[in-house]
Amino acid sequence: MKKQLIDNLSFVLITDRNHCKQSLSHTVKSALEGGVRTVQLREKGLATQELYSIARELRKITSEFKANFIVNDRVDIALAVEADGVHLGWQSLPFGIVRKLVGFEKLIGVSTHNRQEALQAQEYGADYITFGPIFDTPSKAGLLKPTGIEEIQKLKNGINIPIVALGGINERNVEAVLDGGADGIAVISSIMQADNPEDATRCLCNKIVKVRQVFYLSRRQ
């Protein structure tokens, strides 16, 4: 069961309702139809009741597609809607407390931005990390300097859990990111801001599949 959850981290959509050109639920459903395998609910500035309502709706949609549903930071919301996991940042509850609350069958991801943070997350027992921003991205403008693709490959030495790259990833650079060693990608604006979220998702998905096929063929030779 958990292996399938981890496999689904190959393509993650992080939500941001403020970027949607259609409703959030419609955008998420379109993305799932296009090939997204994990949806991470990351909606800031909402009252608990409203966030719960959105989480419940997206849990239902992701279940229909047998896709992961992960809630950013809010362990209570994740448990209330029976999400597949929680994603933690530097202001979240301590990792050990979260693990006790959600158990070992659910995923816990951790946001990291450098090697030290990545190693620390692995030591805590994280199931995966997100790493970035790889490129310039509006959501981190002026806050974090882009790491570049080369840092992903450096991380592979010493990091044994999946690395999900994020930050400015789009159809023009996704293949380079995966070739650079990322186990998966996470995107926001590439899908959320698209006029046709399903087509935008399918384009990214096709490129992911292409890179994976080349990788597996090279391993067999």
Active-site residue, from 92, 111, 190, 207 = 111
Q: Is 190 a catalytic residue?
A: no
Q: How far apart, in whole angstroms, are the C-alpha atoms of residue 214 and residue 191?
A: 25
Catalytic residue among 42, 59, 74, 207: 42
Determine whether 189 is an active site residue. no
How far apart, in whole angstroms, are the C-alpha atoms of residue 93 and residue 160?
24
The whole-angstrom separation of Cα 204 and Cα 191 is: 9
Q: Where in the chain does DSSP place strands (E)?
A: 11-14, 38-41, 68-72, 85-88, 107-112, 128-131, 163-166, 184-187
The answer to whether the beta carbons of residues 77 and 46 sit under 8 Å apart is: no
Q: Where are the beta strands (DSSP E) in 42-173?
A: 68-72, 85-88, 107-112, 128-131, 163-166
140 flagged as catalytic: yes
Taking the CA atoms of residue 72, residue 138, residue 188 and residue 34 in that order, the dihedral angle to the nearest 10 degrees is 180
Specify which residues 34 forms β-bridges with: none
The HSE-up count of residue 95 (CA atoms within 13 Å, CB side) is 19
Active-site choice (99, 115, 140, 154): 140
Active site residues: 42, 111, 140
